[in-house]
Amino acid sequence: MATRTIVKIEDELCNGCGACIGPCAEGTLVLINGKARVIREELCDGAGFCLGVCPTGALSLEQREAPDFSEQAVHEHRQGIKINYVPQDCSFCGNSEDNSYLMAVKHKGQALWVCTRCLPRLIHG
């Protein structure tokens, strides 16, 4: 094990909304008993894409001793899971990610989902 960057979840802040699950390409995060959890540390690459979508600020990155990130473990894990997610909606028009591409954005502490149709409005005001 080495010291590396990994996701930390503050239980008291997590409301169990599941918004963090979708952005995690490795499938590291799941909801267990209404709270987000890192299921296996070697699956977390520490990129932090999950952080920007958390509406309560429950997620952060920390440097600590953890098993090395494993692409092989991620590949094996992704092969064995059924895609299970909490569909998110565009914060502006309500389009579901089932029907549109959504991107997570954060501004002044507020986490939003934006579909590609609404993105120009966000950029240009």
Q: Please answer whether residues 125 and 58 qualify as being in contact, where contact means their C-beta atoms are separated by less than 8 angstroms.
A: no
The model's pTM is: 0.65
Q: What is the mean pLDDT of residues 53-64?
A: 94
Tell me the pLDDT band of 84, cut-offs 50, 70 and 90. Answer: low
Q: How far apart (Å, rounded) are the C-alpha atoms in residues 114 and 94?
A: 9
pLDDT at 58 over 80: yes
Structure tokens at 32: 């267990």
Q: How far apart (Å, rounded) are the C-alpha atoms in residues 100 and 81?
A: 23
pLDDT at 83 over 80: no
- Location of structure tokens 């918004």: 19
124 alpha carbon, distance to own chain's centre = 26
Tell me the pLDDT band of 13, cut-offs 50, 70 and 90. Answer: very high
Q: Please answer whether residues 30 and 21 qualify as being in contact, where contact means their C-beta atoms are separated by less than 8 angstroms.
A: yes
